[in-house]
A = this chain, B = another copy of it.
Amino acid sequence: MTRNARIDPETVTVDVLPPAVILCEPQLGENIGTAARAMANFGLVDLRIINPRDGWPSEKARAAASRADHVIDNVQVFDSVEAAIADLRFVYATTARSREISKPVRGPDEAAQTVCGHGREGHKTGYLFGRERWGLNNEEVALADEIVTLPVDPNFASLNIAQAVLVCAYEWRMKATRGALPFRVDEETHPPAEKEDVVRLFEHLESALDNVNFFRPPEKRPSMVLNLRNILQKANLTRQEVKSLRGVIAALERRPTRPRREEPEGRDDE
């Protein structure tokens, strides 16, 4: 088990150019909006729409985007796939079924790796998503470099556009940030115990148990001690947790729970 330092949100800056998301002839403004929200969750901002059925701008899209206004405000509308991808270096077509096309098929993780490779060099890339009902046609797929598909259960493969965008955006961010999370265990608030403190805890517990004649028969004491020490080691204790457990033992011993003499004063302030 690894303890990880808390990551300050300010430090999770991504120096990889994010891919564009290109929606081909979406019918519902809601889907455009939920796709925009999914993009914003993982740091994507470049949304392009080809011939939206209900026109643009769309109040339904803005409402469904749940305050991803920076994505909605920057939407670009195009009248062909060729125009929408013209400035991109590498394009993935997302499809949910096998095609009569000989083109490499990647999972979202592999695609994200490729897209991040280009993005690290400052080159623009994009993911092309098809219509709600029938996806992309073969001529549109032919304009892409590779195909990306999701590892869905073949018995229940229907994924809406925002969900497909979400998974691609998630994988992009995982690769772009190398898995950085918005927070981990906060080592400043929860510093791990030094081994010296852990050993003192062991000894405190064992001496308390000696006092009540817990280790019987005496020849079993070594293996019983080992078991107890292994249980406590597994808990990967913090400094505060060691103190709490020593208080617990002292309370069960019916001893006062003030700091023990061997602990130097002011240790809490470290």
CB pair B163–A105 under 8 Å, yes or no, is no
1/0 per position for A96-110, CB-CB distance to B under 8 A? 111010111101110
Most buried by B among A151, A154, A159, A163: A151
Chain B residues with CB under 8 A of A68: 156
CB pair A159–B41 under 8 Å, yes or no, is yes
CB nearest neighbor in B for A240: B102
Instruction: Compute how far the CA of A40 lies from the CA of B163 in the bound complex, rounded to whole angstroms.
Output: 13
CB pair B1–A149 under 8 Å, yes or no, is no
Chain B residues with CB under 8 A of A183: 97-98, 105, 149
1/0 per position for A3-44, CB-CB distance to B under 8 A? 110100110100000000000000000000000001011110
Residue A184 CB within 8 A of the other chain: yes
Residue from the list B12, B170, B179 in contact with A154, Cβ < 8 A: B12
Residue A238 CB within 8 A of the other chain: yes
CB nearest neighbor in B for A40: B156
CB pair A177–B163 under 8 Å, yes or no, is no
Residue A75 CB within 8 A of the other chain: no
Residue A173 CB within 8 A of the other chain: yes
Residue A167 CB within 8 A of the other chain: yes
Chain B residues with CB under 8 A of A98: 6, 182-183, 186
CB pair A150–B170 under 8 Å, yes or no, is yes
Residue A158 CB within 8 A of the other chain: yes
Instruction: Decide: A105 near B184, CB < 8 A? Known: A163-B38, A163-B41.
Output: yes
CB pair A181–B40 under 8 Å, yes or no, is no
Q: Taking the nearest CB of chain B, how far is it from the CB of A62, in angstroms? A: 15
CB nearest neighbor in B for A158: B66
Chain B residues with CB under 8 A of A1: 104
Instruction: Compute how far the CA of A41 lies from the CA of B158 in the bound complex, rounded to whole angstroms.
Output: 7
Apart from A41-B159, A42-B153, A170-B170, what 14 extra A-B contacts exist at CB < 8 Å?
Answer: A42-B151, A42-B152, A43-B153, A67-B158, A68-B156, A102-B190, A102-B241, A104-B185, A107-B179, A150-B170, A151-B173, A151-B180, A163-B163, A167-B170
Which 8 A/B pairs are nearest by Cβ-Cβ distance?
A9-B154, A98-B183, A43-B153, A40-B156, A102-B190, A105-B184, A102-B238, A41-B152
> Could you list some 9 contacts between A and B, CB below 8 A?
A12-B154, A42-B151, A98-B183, A102-B240, A104-B185, A105-B183, A152-B173, A163-B163, A166-B167
